[in-house]
Amino acid sequence: MMKIGPMLGKLVTGESVIREFSTVGLDDQVQEKVYLQAGDHTLDISGNQWLLGLDPRILGVWVEKNEDKALLEKSSVYRVYFMNAAAGEETLCPKKALAAVDLDLFTSLEEDNGTLFLLRVLNCEIRHINSLKARLLYWKFYKKPGVSFDRLKGVAAAYTYPRRVRIISFKQDADYNYIFPMDLLGDIRQSGRYLLGMRHSNKVLTRIMDEKKIVVSEVPAVYKPLIYQLGRNHSASPPPLNELPFGVLPSREFGFYLPEWAESYKEIHIRKTVNLGSHMLLFGEWCCDNIIKPPTPRLHHIHFLHFLYQKHRGTGYPAV
């Protein structure tokens, strides 16, 4: 006999296994659009927004035009909309948004070629599934210490846009090699900047801040089992290299080890740090994209509620 939990999950969602995130494989062809509204003005920030902290939820938005910077600086509150472009929503239509998020300014970082606005989530609406079903899922499957319904909504909204999983490599001394996955990060390609939101509980964080160096690799989605296996390294001591279930390659300048199946990597110099609450923002620069092999679909996370929305409409990404 099926237990009550799976029965309820099946009844509410059609799925017998309820997760927080779904994993999909895709290239750069993302079918969602993200818009930021400040006053009477709207900016398409689809390719320039990243989730960088969880408690509080912090969204990083990069702008380069002086007029966009001035617009955001004049505002005290902001509203971000996550749209489903696959359904024809290529332009902002607030009533059709899958998620609408209200934010205020946490802080900003001004650079010569742009400004990073760090926006804190105040509240949000999610419309992926019926609100009653969302509440039922929360009370049965997602509720736990530190996870309120508002937190669930904030995370579900942010992960309406696919967040790419990349591999982080760090080395300090001969026998200290950390290799682990992250998705709270962003590549500001046009400006040679990199953003990483790393949890304070990660044992390697203080060492990275001391060395001010890190390597980020792009990896194929087909290596999901190995990527998730590396996830244990967030809070544990790193295993010796000879105990890893794969070979490694040294990066060109730093000599940090990356998986032999990496497709490309960036060696990043950390220039600034910002305490975001539960996470520390590492703000770095890179100058060279080291290509090892041609790109294939990469692993991305979307929220389970967004997966359900896509499945219902037949617009889902390839599952991994």
Dump pLDDT digits (tens) for 269-281. Answer: 999 999 999 999 9
Residues near 280 by beta carbon (within 8 Å), at least 6 away in sequence: 197, 198, 199, 200, 205, 209, 273, 274
| Token pair recorded at residue 172 | 């300090």
Percent of the chain scoring above 70 in pLDDT: 95
Let me know if the fold of 4-9+32-161 is the same as that of 163-300. yes
pTM of the model: 0.94
Domain parsing of the chain, residue ranges? 4-9+32-161, 163-300
The least confident of 225-239, 254-268, 275-289 is: 225-239
Q: Cβ-count burial of 108 within 10 angstroms (0-12 exposed, 13-18 middle, 19+ buried)?
A: middle
**Half-sphere exposure (CA, 13 Å, Cβ side) for 85?**
13
Q: What is the pLDDT, as a whole number, of residue 40?
A: 87
Chain Cα centroid distance, residue 263 = 19
- Tens of pLDDT, residue by residue over 135-191, are 999 998 999 998 999 999 999 999 999 999 999 999 998 778 899 999 999 999 989
Q: How many CB atoms lie within 10 A of CB 87?
A: 14
Instruction: Just give the CATH number of 163-300.
Output: 2.30.110.10
Q: What is the DSSP letter of 139?
A: I
As its CATH architecture, domain 4-9+32-161 has Roll (2.30)
Give buried/exposed letters for 17-43 (b at 16+ CB in 10 A, else e): ebeebbbbbbeeebbbbbbbbbeeebb
Give the type of residue at 272: K
Q: What is the per-residue pLDDT for 2?
A: 41
Chain segment 69-101, per-residue pLDDT in tens: 999 999 988 999 999 876 555 577 888 999 999
